[in-house]
């Protein structure tokens, strides 16, 4: 066999795709997803994570991205416009870009935040969170698995974490294990260097408060880093108030409320584990005078039911931050109704001049629909109210395309 032929058989031809006109303009406008049903033509079957090159109708380069045969999001676009060589230097530059975007924005009192926010940072389906010197790397697509060593190596070399912990979204765990032999846990390079050590919860700082994150087992990568700015707002509104933190998780909002001068804080969550974390987080901040003097209580219950059942006690600040109520488009109407009921019940628990902070993390409920639902409930409650503020994504969780926008929060003062 000639040399040229051997090379040709060892390295398959570039995976080339042609797409519908609609997809072409969507990609040109910067959207990072190509859906399987938008592919018109493909020169061969693609493999997980290989680079797919998309051409326009005139056969010019349109974009390149990671191929994912397991998902209806068939290609996650890495770049569009002019062709670029995607090599080590390219990946490094892209990582440095994400880091540069955050540089100087956090002082040493905040050592937990998002370093890479997926598509919106040019790393589709990949999240990197910092918890002090431990980093959590979470993958939402199998397309990264063949490059895991390379990416982990790059992160270690560039950012020098003491520990890098891999997390996988539930829907890719089986494929990761069966096809790539990859499971969640601390990443050693090269992989498979002995049994994976247990990862103890990490303590990090957010706005000077100490929090614990269970980077290996916790929800997301261990903490809801996306609520930092809302927690700061709650701190500024909490003085002298009695606070109900519904869907509290490990008490993120509560610690800020306590430091802001709340008299008393009640954490309400269905998870005993989360509430135990909230207690530990209060203990971790006992040297903060205002935290030490704030009384803290936990209630383990289904918050929807608890809020529904006509509790007699009243509060001065109610925080509602439920989990996503619409995992898919078909659940949207139901979710909007649920937000309205939740708000109505939250308002009933407020004393005169109380404050309601209502958040939603449902990607399938657009911000306007959520805000309308909350305001509708407020009007129906028959009490005067003023809207104090609406918030969205914090800058380290910036969302650059519609499907990435999930977080919204509104603050009302209720007479």
Active site residues: 361
Cβ atoms of 225 and 397 closer than 8 Å: yes
Q: CA 382, 265, 203, 399: dihedral to nearest 10 degrees?
A: 10
Applying CB under 6 A, does 269 fall inside the site for ligand SAH? Answer: yes
Query: Cβ closer to ligand SAH: 227 or 298?
Result: 227
Q: Does the protein bind ligand SAH through residue 271 (CB under 6 A)?
A: yes
Q: What is the closest distance, in whole angstroms, from the C-beta atom of residue 366 to ligand SAH in the complex? A: 20
- Closest C-alpha to 128, from 107, 106, 141, 113: 113
Residues in contact with ligand SAH, counted by CB under 6 A, come to a total of 17
Member of 204, 224, 339, 406 binding ligand SAH (CB under 6 A): 224
CA dihedral 214, 256, 270, 134 (to 10 degrees): -10
Question: Binder to ligand SAH among 61, 106, 304, 401 (CB under 6 A)?
Answer: 304
For position 48 contacting ligand SAH by CB under 6 A, the verdict is: no
Alpha carbon of residue 196 to chain centroid: 25
**Measured distance CA(353)–CA(225) in Å, rounded:** 29
Q: How far apart are CA 135 and CA 146, in angstroms?
A: 20
Closest to ligand SAH by CB, 91 vs 204, is 204
**CA 50 to each of CA 65, 78, 108, 239, 283: distance values in angstroms, whole numbers, following the listed order:** 8, 12, 39, 54, 48
Token code pair at residue 153: 């190596």
**Looking up tokens 């006509």, which residue turns up?**
310
Q: If binding is defined by CB under 6 A, does position 123 make contact with ligand SAH?
A: no
Q: How far apart are CA 203 and CA 280, in angstroms?
A: 11
Q: Which stretch binds ligand SAH (CB under 6 A): 42-50, 166-174, 179-187, 315-323?
A: 315-323
| 169 is a contact residue toward ligand SAH (CB under 6 A) | no
Stretch 245-264: interaction string toward ligand SAH, x if CB under 6 A: --xxx--xx-----------
Min separation Cβ 301 and ligand SAH, Å: 7
Would you state the torsion angle of the CA atoms of residues 119, 123, 128, 133, taken in this order, to the nearest 10 degrees?
A: -140
Q: How far is the CB of 110 from ligand SAH (least distance, A)?
A: 15
Give the one residue of 107, 150, 272, 302 binding ligand SAH; rule: CB under 6 A.
302
Shortest CB 211 distance to ligand SAH, Å: 9
Instruction: Determine if 334 is a binding residue for ligand SAH (CB under 6 A).
Output: no
Shortest Cβ 194–ligand SAH spacing (Å): 34
Residue 190 tokens read as 């090269």
Q: How far apart are CA 237 and CA 225, in angstroms?
A: 20
| Helical packing angle, 228-237 and 252-259, nearest 10° | 30
CB of residue 248 to ligand SAH, shortest distance in Å: 6
Which range in 74-82, 100-108, 122-130, 319-327 contacts ligand SAH by CB under 6 A?
319-327
User: Is 270 among the residues that bind ligand SAH (CB under 6 A)?
Assistant: yes
CB of 219 to ligand SAH, least distance (A): 7
Q: What share of the chain is helix, strand, coil (3-state, %, to 5)?
A: 35, 30, 35
**Residue 274 contacts ligand SAH per CB under 6 A:** yes
Rank residues 95 and 246 by Cβ distance to ligand SAH and give the closer one: 246
Q: Which residue stretches of 263-331 are H helix?
A: 272-284, 289-292, 303-308
Judge whether 391 and 360 are in contact, CB under 8 Å: no
Binding region for ligand SAH (CB under 6 A) out of 24-32, 85-93, 301-309, 400-408: 301-309
Binding characters for ligand SAH, 180-219, by CB under 6 A (x = yes): ----------------------------------------
Verify binding: residue 67, ligand SAH, rule CB under 6 A.
no
Chain residues binding ligand SAH by CB under 6 A are 224, 227, 247-249, 252-253, 269-271, 274, 302-304, 321-323
């Amino acid at each position: 066999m000639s040399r040229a032929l051997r090379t040709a058989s060892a390295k398959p031809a570039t995976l080339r795709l042609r797409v519908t006109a609609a997809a072409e303009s969507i990609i040109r406008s910067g959207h990072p997803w190509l859906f399987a049903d938008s592919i018109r033509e493909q020169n061969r079957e693609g493999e997980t994570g290989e680079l797919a090159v998309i051409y326009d109708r005139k056969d010019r380069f349109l974009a390149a991205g990671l191929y994912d045969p397991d998902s209806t999001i068939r290609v996650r676009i890495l770049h569009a416009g002019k062709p670029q060589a995607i090599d080590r230097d390219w990946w490094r530059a892209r990582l440095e870009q994400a880091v540069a975007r955050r540089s100087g924005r956090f002082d040493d009192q905040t050592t937990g935040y998002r370093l890479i926010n997926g598509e919106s940072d040019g790393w589709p389906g990949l999240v990197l969170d910092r918890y002090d010197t431990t980093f959590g790397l979470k993958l939402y697509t199998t397309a990264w698995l063949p490059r895991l060593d390379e990416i982990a190596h790059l992160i270690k070399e560039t950012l020098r974490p003491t520990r890098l912990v891999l997390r996988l979204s539930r829907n890719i765990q089986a494929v990761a294990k069966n096809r790539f032999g990859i499971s969640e846990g601390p990443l050693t390079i090269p992989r498979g260097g002995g049994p994976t050590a247990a990862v103890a919860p990490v303590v990090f700082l957010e706005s000077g408060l100490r929090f614990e994150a269970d980077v290996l087992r916790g929800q997301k990568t261990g903490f809801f880093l996306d609520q930092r700015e809302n927690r700061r707002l709650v701190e500024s509104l909490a003085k002298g108030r009695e606070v109900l933190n519904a869907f509290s998780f490990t008490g993120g909002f509560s610690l800020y409320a306590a430091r802001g001068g709340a008299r008393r804080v009640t954490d309400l969550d269905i998870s005993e584990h989360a509430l135990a974390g909230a207690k530990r987080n209060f203990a971790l901040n006992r040297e903060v005078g205002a935290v030490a003097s704030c009384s803290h209580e936990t209630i383990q219950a289904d918050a929807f039911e608890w809020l529904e059942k006509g509790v007699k006690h009243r509060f001065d600040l109610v925080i509602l931050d439920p989990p996503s109520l619409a995992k898919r488009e078909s659940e949207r109407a139901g979710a909007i109704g649920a937000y309205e009921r939740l708000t109505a019940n939250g308002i009933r628990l407020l004393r005169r001049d109380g404050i309601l902070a209502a958040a939603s993390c449902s990607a399938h409920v657009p911000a306007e629909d959520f805000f309308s639902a909350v305001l509708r409930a407020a009007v129906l409650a028959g009490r005067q109210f003023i809207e104090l503020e609406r918030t969205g994504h914090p800058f380290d969780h910036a969302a650059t395309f519609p499907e990435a926008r999930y977080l919204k929060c509104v603050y009302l003062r209720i007479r």
